[in-house]
């Protein structure tokens, strides 16, 4: 797999072709910046490092008043989604 970095200019992608690709070679460009270069599985050493880091994490302690505020906000957000779904559904039956 070859990674080619480029920048968008005037809404166009200008990609310098690697020397080992001849004219007519089919390529796939993937947009985004997920940080990964490929879809290969993590090596065992990386898995062990991530698991060790996860074990060092401390539980998140949320004060009761903050938890109550978060719960109320989540309920309002859920109700807003329900209300909007109801509004969208009303037009479908007419």
State whether residue 49 is helix, strand or coil. helix
- Residue 14 has a pLDDT of 79
Low-confidence spans in the chain with pLDDT less than 50: none
- Residue 2 has a pLDDT of 63
**Are the C-beta atoms of 1 and 38 separated by less than 8 Å?**
yes
Q: Is 38 left (phi over 0), alpha (psi -120 to 50) or beta?
A: beta
Q: Which residues pair with 35 in a beta bridge?
A: none
* pTM of the complete model: 0.35
- Residue 13 has a pLDDT of 81
DSSP track, 51-87: HHHHHTPPPP---HHHHHHHHHHHHHHHHHHHHHHHH
Domain positions in the chain: 8-32+42-92
**Are the C-beta atoms of 36 and 1 separated by less than 8 Å?**
no
- Residue 91 has a pLDDT of 58
- Residue 24 has a pLDDT of 87
- Residue 35 has a pLDDT of 54
């Amino acid at each position: 797999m070859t990674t080619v970095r480029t920048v968008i200019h005037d809404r166009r992608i200008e990609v310098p072709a690697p020397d080992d690709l001849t004219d007519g070679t089919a390529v796939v460009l993937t947009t985004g910046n997920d940080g990964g270069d490929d879809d290969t599985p993590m090596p065992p050493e990386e898995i062990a490092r991530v698991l060790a880091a996860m074990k060092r994490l401390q539980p998140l302690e949320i004060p009761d008043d903050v938890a109550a505020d978060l719960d109320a906000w989540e309920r309002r957000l859920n109700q807003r989604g329900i209300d909007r779904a109801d509004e969208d559904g009303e037009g479908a039956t007419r």
